[in-house]
């Protein structure tokens, strides 16, 4: 099994998770085991408004990883919170773009930039409520799921 490692901390109103390793079908279970309790904490905590995934040390993301991150994005959005990505490797950005979900996420250059912006926002501010087509992320995902059947 492919190994992943994580570093997590809370700064300002933001929960940051730094990921090291590739997020693939081999490691997605470990990633889910780590991130699910954090999501439970973030969605219930009134002072934390965002979850930032620092992907500086992630150079590969496959469809399993995309699916997991998308599911967490939807859960955060439903709870009125935000999920953003930072330090995204160009190859990972290309994979997200190719999957049709690249514009769904908000990207930051680095953790300090994400903290500067997200750490000062209230829980009422939405990240990317609609994509470039005017459709919400939920609409895009539901449409993709329907077309796969």
Quote the CA–CA distance of 69 and 83 in Å, as a whole number: 9
pLDDT tens digits along 53-97: 999 999 899 999 999 999 999 999 999 999 999 999 999 999 999
Question: What mean pLDDT, rounded, does the chain reach?
Answer: 83
Mention every residue, 6+ apart, whose C-beta is less than 8 A from residue 81: 42, 43, 48, 49, 50, 51, 123
Kindly list the structural domains of the chain, giving each domain's residue range(s) and its CATH number in brackets, ordered by start. 5-148 (3.30.750.24)
Task: Give the per-residue pLDDT at 120.
Answer: 79
**Percentage with pLDDT > 70 across the chain:** 79
Q: Kindly give the interhelix angle for 63-78 and 137-148, rounded to the nearest 10 degrees.
A: 140
pLDDT at 115 over 70: yes
Beta strand pairing status for 14-20 and 5-11?
antiparallel
* pLDDT level of residue 148 (50, 70, 90 thresholds): very low
Task: Give the per-residue pLDDT at 128.
Answer: 36
Which of 2, 3, 8, 63 shows the shortest CA–CA distance to 36?
Answer: 8
pTM for this entry: 0.79
């Amino acid at each position: 099994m492919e190994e992943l490692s994580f570093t997590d901390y809370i700064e300002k109103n933001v929960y940051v998770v730094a990921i090291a390793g590739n997020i693939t079908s081999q490691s997605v279970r470990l990633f889910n085991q780590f991130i699910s309790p954090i999501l439970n904490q973030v969605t219930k905590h009134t002072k934390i408004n965002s979850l930032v995934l620092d992907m500086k040390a992630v150079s590969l993301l496959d469809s399993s990883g995309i699916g997991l991150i998308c599911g967490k994005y939807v859960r955060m959005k439903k709870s009125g919170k935000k999920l953003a990505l930072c330090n995204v490797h160009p190859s990972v950005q290309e994979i997200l773009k190719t999957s049709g979900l690249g514009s769904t996420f908000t990207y930051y250059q680095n953790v300090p930039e994400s903290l500067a912006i997200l750490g000062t926002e209230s829980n009422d501010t939405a990240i990317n409520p609609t994509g470039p087509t005017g459709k919400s992320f939920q609409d895009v995902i539901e449409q993709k799921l329907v077309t796969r059947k």
